[in-house]
Structure 1
Amino acid sequence: MDYIEEHKSIIINELATSLRKRFKKLHPLSDECCIYRAPQRRCQLNEGLYTSTVFSVGPLHHRREEFKAMEEFKIRYLQYFLQRTKVSMEHFLIFTKDRETRLRNCYAENIKQGSHEFVKMILLDSVFLIEFSLRKSIRDQFNAPLDRIFTKPWMIYDVMVDTLLLENQLPLFILEDLFDLAKIEMHSNIYEGLSMSKLTCDLCKGMGKFLLIEDKLFEEQFPKAQHFVDMIRLCFQPSEEICELKTLVAPTITELQQAGVKFKLGSSNHLFDLRFNDGTLEIPKLTIVDRTKALFRNLHDFEALNSVTNYVNDYIRIMNYLVSGPKDVKVLVQNGIIENLLSDSEDVSTLFQNLQKETGIDSDNFYYSGLIEDLKAYCTSPWHKWKATLKHNYFNTSWASISVIATVVLLILIIIQAVFYCHQQVDSTCTDICFAYISLVLLDC
């Protein structure tokens, strides 16, 4: 009996020691964590939306076979970068090495790369993004025929699209630090008036004019942004209070139109800033292209993994409510709110239907709750419905409007004439005759 108890004690001690060793292997949790892998289930459901096409940066997809060709571009860009500054390669490596712990803390998972490989990778990837941004911003100062990326427009586009993928991010602080270090001692004045903030703004604009983000927004959000995806998220989101959502039902664009709601291109430069005032729904312009789904999916996943806000999630939900079918899309296209570069209107409504499948809704914390309540109240008002019906049936064209106005004027004149005539008569049946006369005229009208 003592032998069994002693044996159990040995086993327990071994198990306890084994578990304690695993404590030391845990990836340290950090407030700077901001780069994640997309949830596996979403990757399986949305194959291709998280996949780079031409290059990768950072450790999550390092050394993948399909990106080997891009490694030569990275080496060349590092060479060009060093030729313009008096700062040595060794200095840049030491500078990056000093930030290794902070860089590793930015990733949600434990990066298994050794220190040397990690530092070399970060320097190459960071300089590639800096050099690409620089050449994109001031292309006329470089020898374009010798740049195998900028002689191929499709490749420029693919690189910019890849920088918006959740798993393909580098912390912005390392880009800014390396750029500022290079500017300390220069062989030329090519960096004069430039900053990593400005280059990032230019690059983000180039990621797709469909984003329609004003320059000042990029400049305002750069100090707060953790990486490129976070930069876009911050530029999109509004800054108003969130209220409780009383119902999950919202009217569609078609239903709103039938109730007399007018649609106007939003004046706000925040994509998510929808407003409803005095019967007019303002929606900022949204250009739909083939990569719009990937953009929103990566933004949504980053928000779900890292952010305390739900703006991306709630925007997808409200747009899915409003745009439930091709008719809704056509109304917004006609009003200049949606620019559809897909094949047809049905593709746009399907896009939001697919996006909302991966979203949730918190009725106590839904950004557009007030908007939905205002829209519903407007739609259920009999007065608004009557005005919309009158306008649709009698004022839908200029000739119809003229006809209705002429009829009303004629009716007023007839009534005045009939009343005047009755006052001139003494016959007791005059009133009946007058009303009969007016009725006949109205029937003729």
Structure 2
Amino acid sequence: MVVVFNKLVFDKELLSWYFITLKLKETIEANLRKSQAKPIARTIPLGLYKYNPVLKPALMPQPLPPPPLDSTWIISILRKLEQARKYEASSPWETLSIYRVPKSLRDVDHTVYTPTIVSLGPYHRGRRSLRGMDPHKWRFLHHALTRTGHDVRLYLDAARSLEDRARACYEAPISISSDAFVESLVLDAIFALELFRGVSPEGFQRLGYSPKDPIFGDRNIILSLKTDMIMLENQLPLFVLDRILALQLGNEYSRSAPLALRFFDDLAFNEEHLPSTAYFDPLYNAGSSESLHCLDMIHRSLVPRSKSASSPRRSSRDQLLARGVNFALTWPCSGDFGLPVGDMGRLRLIHCVAELREAGIEFRRSQKSDQFWDIKFKDGVLYIPRLIIEDGTKILFHNLIALEQRHLECGNQITSYFSFMDDLINSEADVRYLHDKGIIDHGLGSNGAVADMFNRLCREVVIDPSDCYLSELSEQVNRYYKNKWNTWRASFTHKYFSNPWVFISLIAAISLLLLSAGQTFYTAYAYYKPKKSN
């Protein structure tokens, strides 16, 4: 009986192990099936993405099959590429010269870029506020035809032959029709040429106009016309003016540039008037007439585009690098040009007048040069030519800067100069000091208005300080400014030598100190070295 019981117990234990083993096997097989159905994501080594001949082809990552050529996605991409090709072909980048003013500049002061009395070219054509001059344009055309005896179709045919070249000078497609564009070229060109020739020695009366003409007899209107005609968006290609003038005079070599320079002569802002031919190279302009207009012509007359020593662009990034200036550090972190950041994050070239005066730097009007950009620094003295500022020249400043911002072939001499002057002038006191020194002569009403004008001129303007012709001069001035001895000497001079009474008090104090020191010396000497008795 005992034997049978022990056998049953032993068989039961074996049976239990058998069931446990069977259950464990079923659990393992179930987990394996689950893992095969949902594989665990693992990071694939980068090496597996490259071709490895050791790996089996089945383990290599297979590329996705290319989409079919007739898919909607591929068709849309091909259509966009075709549009880009047509846009590239229809945009004459190489001949652009008359641009739209960027919105960033216009938002600073839109009045200096928007004509108020006349429109030239297609940008402002048809504006309601400018339509009042349209009857006078037709009247000028009638005068020109009557005086020359020409048929209007002669001018229309000439303008038609120049239509494509003229359209290529303007930014963005011109939406007006071919006939309207040709008509505007003739009207605007005759209008401009009549003005140019009217201020020449022959005068308006010799051209057949009355002394009481509502346009030519009003000086204020003439000044408003001049300021409108120097705006970047209000320009005509000069080759159009040259062709119409050649037809009027019967001389194919006639050029409108000398007439235009004489017309804008009183808008000059340097010591002398605009040169009629001194800085104007007719051969150069004839070779690039497709990119020349009145504003560009004024720019060329003020700042010659030459590689000679007379050109203001005397310092460049390469020259400064050759002299050991490390731009990786100096812009804008540290170094000689590590100055505070000005408006809109622009790095300042130089300290203001008040700060430079504290360091002992003097300002004098340059007597050796009448070119406004020809600034010199020598022995702690900054020589700056005279600058004349009027309402008209203010508009010219803004549009010359806008031209340099858009037309890179112009360089950046004007922008560099006004950026330098903007850094010098921070307040009304700075303008007052420069005015007292004869450097700035203005008619804007107050020194504060001049300071505000300079602070607005280069706002939102992009300029690379390393590509500024005044970089080397600014570096010299900043080194002088950082010399503590110059600051101490200037402070001492300003404190004790600017007022005669303070100077007299200083001399009296020094004399009293010397007398007291002498008395103390002789008293002590007599005590320690008494006289010997006989």
Q: TM-score band (shorter)?
A: 0.7 to 0.9
Question: Do structure 1's residue 156 and structure 2's residue 258 form an aligned pair?
Answer: no
* Counterpart in the other structure of 1:301: 402
* Deviation for aligned residue 1:43: 2.6
Question: Do structure 1's residue 47 and structure 2's residue 47 form an aligned pair?
Answer: no
Distance 2:390 2:179 in 1: 41
- Native 8 Å contact 2:315 2:472 kept in 1: no
* Counterpart in the other structure of 2:259: 199
- Native 8 Å contact 1:242 1:368 kept in 2: no
- Native 8 Å contact 1:205 1:211 kept in 2: no
- Native 8 Å contact 1:27 1:109 kept in 2: no
SS in 1 for 2:95: coil
Distance 2:177 2:297 in 1: 30
Return the match for 2:356 from 256, 266, 270: 256
* Deviation for aligned residue 1:312: 2.9
Task: Return closer, same or farther for 1:341/1:10 CA change in 2, 3 Å cut-off.
Answer: closer
* Counterpart in the other structure of 2:189: 126
* Counterpart in the other structure of 1:229: 295
- Native 8 Å contact 2:279 2:302 kept in 1: no
- Native 8 Å contact 1:286 1:339 kept in 2: yes
SS in 2 for 1:276: strand
Question: Do structure 1's residue 76 and structure 2's residue 139 form an aligned pair?
Answer: yes
The aligned runs of 1:27-66 (5 Å cut-off) are 27-66=90-129
Unmatched 5+ stretches in structure 2: 1-66, 286-291, 304-311, 321-326, 331-336, 340-349, 527-534
Larger Rg: 2
SS in 2 for 1:52: coil
Question: Do structure 1's residue 20 and structure 2's residue 20 form an aligned pair?
Answer: no
Task: Return closer, same or farther for 1:326/1:436 CA change in 2, 3 Å cut-off.
Answer: farther
Task: Return closer, same or farther for 1:434/1:386 CA change in 2, 3 Å cut-off.
Answer: farther
Task: Return closer, same or farther for 1:216/1:388 CA change in 2, 3 Å cut-off.
Answer: same
Task: Return closer, same or farther for 1:158/1:324 CA change in 2, 3 Å cut-off.
Answer: same
* Counterpart in the other structure of 1:374: 476
Unmatched 5+ stretches in structure 1: 187-192, 419-429, 438-445
What does the per-residue CA deviation read over 1:34-84, in whole Å, with 9 as the maximum and x for residues that have no partner? 001112343344232211100001111112222222111111111222333
Equivalent position amino acid for 1:182 in 2? Q
SS in 2 for 1:103: helix
Aligned-residue identity in percent:
29
SS in 2 for 1:145: coil
* Counterpart in the other structure of 2:412: 310
The alignment's TM-score, normalised by the length of structure 1, stands at 0.79
- Native 8 Å contact 2:228 2:234 kept in 1: yes
* Deviation for aligned residue 1:334: 0.1
Deviates more, 1:333-342 or 1:279-288: 279-288
* Deviation for aligned residue 1:329: 0.9
Distance 2:264 2:524 in 1: 73
Deviates more, 1:101-110 or 1:223-232: 223-232
Deviates more, 1:300-309 or 1:13-22: 13-22
SS in 2 for 1:336: coil
Question: Do structure 1's residue 281 and structure 2's residue 347 form an aligned pair?
Answer: no
What root-mean-square deviation, in Å, do the aligned CA atoms of Structure 1 and Structure 2 show?
Answer: 3.7
The aligned runs of 1:37-436 (5 Å cut-off) are 37-138=100-201, 139=203, 141-142=205-206, 143-184=209-250, 196-206=256-266, 208-210=267-269, 212=271, 214-216=273-275, 219-221=278-280, 223=282, 224=284, 226-237=292-303, 238-243=312-317, 244=320, 246=330, 247-249=337-339, 250-266=350-366, 267-308=368-409, 309-385=411-487, 387-389=489-491, 391-396=493-498, 432-433=521-522
SS in 1 for 2:467: coil
What does the per-residue CA deviation read over 1:149-171, in whole Å, with 9 as the maximum and x for residues that have no partner? 12222111110000111110011
How many pairs were matched up? 409
Deviates more, 1:231-240 or 1:147-156: 231-240
Task: Return closer, same or farther for 1:338/1:310 CA change in 2, 3 Å cut-off.
Answer: same
What does the per-residue CA deviation read over 1:303-345, in whole Å, with 9 as the maximum and x for residues that have no partner? 1111242223322321121111122111100011111322322
Deviates more, 1:39-48 or 1:148-157: 39-48
- Native 8 Å contact 1:222 1:231 kept in 2: no
Distance 2:427 2:80 in 1: 58
* Deviation for aligned residue 1:377: 2.0
